[in-house]
Structure 1
Amino acid sequence: MEIFLVAAIIWLLFLCMLYESLYRKSHKTCYLLGYQCYKAPDDLKLSAGTAAKIALRNRNLGLEEYRFMVRTMVRSGIGEETYIPRNIMEGREMSPTLQDSLDEMTEATFSNLDSLFARSAVSPCQIDILVTTGSLFAPVPSLSSRIVNHYGMKEGIKCFSLTGMGCSSSVIAVDLVRQLFNTHPNSFAVVVAVELTAPNWYGGTDRSMMLSNILFRAGGSSLILTNHPSWKDRAILKLDAVVRNHVSDNEAYECAIHVEDNQGYVGARLTKALPTIAMRALEGNLRVLLPKVLPLWEILRFVVASYYWKTRMMGEKDAKSPVIDMKTGIQHFCMHTGGRAVIDGFEKSFGLGEYDMEPSRMSLHRFGNTSCSSLWYVLGYMEAKKRLKRGDRIMMVGLGAGFLCNTCVWTVMRDLEDVNVWGDCIDRYPPGTLVVNRMDEILDWIFDDCMSFINFQDYDRTTLFAR
């Protein structure tokens, strides 16, 4: 009986793989011609000392809240060279203006696009489709309209502005372009992903909402895609598959949400359940994605091993459940830089190694969580390290509020070696230690210069941040 069941499973999987192969061939190809990530000016770099000063400007913080914030900051995996908007650096985070938001959006968008158009040899007037995405700022006119106006793009351009979809929305934007390509042959598309922190600094004391101040940093990315056959030789990546998943139960819905706290301060609440929800969403997504991109023999091996484990080994103490080997069909992994816990969860749940997670950890360290643009900083690290060779496959995993999990797989069209946004620092990565602990510097600043903000005189500095 067991033999017949295994044979039936194998036959069903074969039919599924055949269908997926034919389905993919029936759809038009989507090529990535180039991408560009934003790097802010050096005067907006956020050191540990500056971060401590900004935290102390919040007069609502008591000793326990401040201790929580500093301890979390030094353990977050974020380094000394991330960027924040100018209004926060200048001390105006609690009273942002519309112009502050527009300035950050302009700086993170148009400099990227100028470089991208110049490098790709595609003119703004050639663009047929434009998709912009960003969750927490929706100006009128929209960002897409501002781009069309700035570059004088064609009147018939198809414009879309995505909001409220969180950190995974750049994958959603790519999927939207892919679907539009099915009915718009020989087209060029631009995707712009930018999340603004200028108007979204949290000034309250809710610990689950203070995390956003620690993790999120200024950034942005822009891409040019095409389905024009004659541009195939200029492409750097080809899109193989996209899978989108939406986990809709209440716990998932509320684990990353923009709300107002009890004091009336607005911010993004990130609950303790977020890493668990993220892994659950990703598992559901991979059940659909992996049969499309992994070799049939690995799928069959995993199915047989799982069946054997469930029927024979499940009750044994030391028996580990089988794990599918994703590296049989995928060589590189762009995991969302949502935080140290999320990256560690990716590594543990899917049997990946330090080499696989290094690009995501280093991107979090150097640029922080740049939300919807973060995946492209990770890709840039791989390229700057000269890891991407022709024929390699890259899986991108984006997570976002809702709760959303969106993945896509690309094939590298040629060896890639551009140092891009990492050019000034790639030789210093990875550092000797992944998490740079600057507690001593922060403590020195607190006790030397901060007495006017919070009264720490009654506390011994050696025990202030003790467990």
Structure 2
Amino acid sequence: METIIQYDHSIIKLITSSSHHFMMGVVAGLAILYLVYKRRVTIYLLDFACYRPSDSYRLPMSMFKENNIVDNMDSESVAFQCKILEKSGFSEETCIPPSLARIPKTQSISFSTEEAVTIMNSAITDLFEKQNINPKTIDILITNSSLFCPTPSLSAMVINKFRMRSNIMSYHLSGMGCSAGLISVSLAKDLLRVHRSSLALIVSTEVLNLHWYTGKVPSMLLTNCLFRMGGAAILMSSRVQDKSRAKYELQHIVRTNKAHDDQSYFCVHQDVDLENKVGVSISRNILNVAGDALKENIASLGPLVLPFSEQFRYAFSLICHKLWTRERTRVYTPNFNKAFEHFCVHAGGRAVIQAIERNLKLRKQDVEASKMTLYKFGNTSSSSIWYELCYIEAKGKMKCGDRVWQIAFGSGFKCNSAVWKCAGDVGPEMVNPWRDIIHSYPVEVPDIVKIN
């Protein structure tokens, strides 16, 4: 009997011990789930503002030609640039800083600084007024300008102008090309997830003054025909209380860098010509390089955003393409309209927009914002995708739940994507670079096949 009682006690002890371990396991599991959930920080885009240059900064074709002739530029170089501009998809309203409209042109550090300050301060002021933001509440500041990198930095200029806090986390990105705006968003996202309940301000611009090419090399003259004055300020947050007033929620950031490949690396690069004049050379292979980078970027982005049916059709067509004669089978291009309602394709050039439209089989309305941004403002580098988002909002097309795909290309060579989800219906706003002209758009811009 004593042995049986001891055995029963052992069983009870074992059961009790097992129950205790089970409960501890459940508690530990719940704790892990809680920590995992807690670590998922949602990143919001509260608002953004784009700089609108004064109408007096416009650069019509007649002025462009006259200024270059008066500046004693080689006649062949002038003719080449005019030919490119005629096919560029630009209107007569794209703008350059006043220093470059002078006769002769005036290029200096002081004029470049003045240009940067004018653009940044205007965009930031508009953004702060829209959101009623005190500059001292900004925790993270990120500026980006690919070619102009003065000392003190552009981020220091912003801190000085708006009297921001002494413990603000500030960064400046240079040499990253036109895709630097989305790299800044990626950096802000990572910082906001680490430093929770914070506000991040991003300022994206490019400064033209010092980098307007005055030589004779055609590949370097292209930059004079493509880049125009512009900039944007973007306010992001990881604060829970900002959910109700946020415009967009960040869904994905996908970055592709092809710098390991020599052709991609040298596709867009700064160099010195035989006359010792500095310029940025753009290779004839840029469309092919951009296409390869985009394919790689989409390969990473597709599984995150496309419905299973589209992924299956793509995978099946790829298998067929590899197993059978390649000429007889084509790889299926996924229908990205099933993943996105809106597209903001970097306005890097007319040929770039058309190539993406064709290769992704997008509709005319899908690239309308990109074409109209190129037409009205030109290629404003890293800020162009924000002018495009402004266009969509000004048209009243953005609805709650809509998904936006921003695509940007940059030297290196890079292709970056950002996916945003609209958090609420967005109506036309007073502070918008399209506000008083949107009724005139879209305008008809004839397509081109190729720029020689």
TM-score relative to the length of structure 2: 0.88
1:233 and 2:248 are equivalent in the alignment:
no
Question: 1:255, 1:312 → 2: CA distance?
Answer: 34
Counterparts of 1:275-354 in structure 2 under 5 Å?
275-312=287-324, 314-316=326-328, 319-354=329-364
CA contact (8 A) 1:309 1:322 kept: no
The 3 A distance-change label for structure 1 pair 432 and 24 is: farther
Cα deviation for residue 92 of structure 1 reads 4.1
Please say if residues 365 and 435 of structure 1, whose CA atoms lie closer than 8 Å, have aligned partners that are also in contact: no
Give yes or no for the alignment of 1:42 onto 2:52: no
**Residue type at the aligned position of 1:333:** F
One-letter amino acid of the structure 2 residue matched with residue 116 of structure 1 = L
| Cα displacement (A) at 1:325 | 1.2
Paired residue secondary structure (2:417): strand
**Which runs of structure 2 are paired with 1:201-216 in the superposition (5 Å)?**
201-216=212-227
| Aligned match of 2:25 | none
Equivalent position of 2:40 in the other structure: 27
Cα distance between partner residues in 1 of 2:99 and 2:231: 17
Deviation at 1:24, TM superposition (A): 10
1:53-452 alignment runs, 5 A limit: 53-62=66-75, 64-93=76-105, 95-248=106-259, 249-312=261-324, 314-316=326-328, 319-419=329-429, 420-434=432-446
Match of 1:440 in 2: none
Count of residues in correspondence between the two structures: 412
Measured in 2, the distance between the counterparts of 1:284 and 1:151 equals: 40
Look up the match of 2:12: none
Question: Residue in 1 aligned with 2:29?
Answer: none
Contact between 1:78 and 1:435, CA under 8 Å: does it hold in 2? Answer: no
Distance in 2 (CA, whole Å) between partners of 1:31 and 1:134 is 23
Counterparts of 1:257 and 1:315, CA distance in 2: 36
After superposing on structure 2, the runs of 4+ consecutive aligned residues of structure 1 that deviate more than 6 Å are none
Per-residue displacement from partner, 1:221-267 (whole Å, max 9, x unpaired)? 00111010111010001100001111021111111111111111111
In structure 1, distance between residues paired with 2:96 and 2:346: 19
Tell me the alpha carbon deviations over residues 294-336 of structure 1, each in whole angstroms, 9 at most, x when there is no partner.
22232122212322343346342xx543111111111111111
1:77 touches 1:340 (CA, 8 Å); kept in 2? yes
> Alpha-carbon deviation of 1:53?
1.2
Q: Percent identity among equivalent residues? A: 34
Distance in 1 (CA, whole Å) between partners of 2:276 and 2:161 is 37
Change (3 A) 1:24 1:293: farther
Partners of 1:260 and 1:27 in 2: CA distance: 48
CA distance in 2, matches of 1:74, 1:415: 38
Secondary structure class of the residue paired with 2:194: coil
- 77 and 183 in structure 1: CA distance in 2 versus 1, 3 angstrom threshold: same
Alpha-carbon distance, 1:57 to partner: 3.1
The amino acid across from 2:219 in the alignment is S
Give ranges in structure 2 of 5+ residues lacking alignment: 1-35
Cα pair distance change 1:402/1:315, threshold 3 Å? closer
Structure 2 CA distance, aligned partners of 1:377 and 1:119? 17
- Separation of aligned partners in 2, 1:349 and 1:55: 37
Is this contact kept in 1: 2:142–2:173, CA < 8 A?
A: yes
Alignment partners' CA distance in 2, 1:352 and 1:26:
37
Larger Rg: 2
Q: Which position in structure 1 is the counterpart of 2:20?
A: none
CA contact (8 A) 2:61 2:82 kept: no
Q: CA deviation at 1:70?
A: 1.2
Structure 1 unaligned spans of 5+: 1-22, 437-466
Counterpart CA distance in 1 for 2:158 and 2:424 is 30
Is the Cα–Cα contact under 8 Å of residues 216 and 371 in structure 1 kept in the other structure? yes
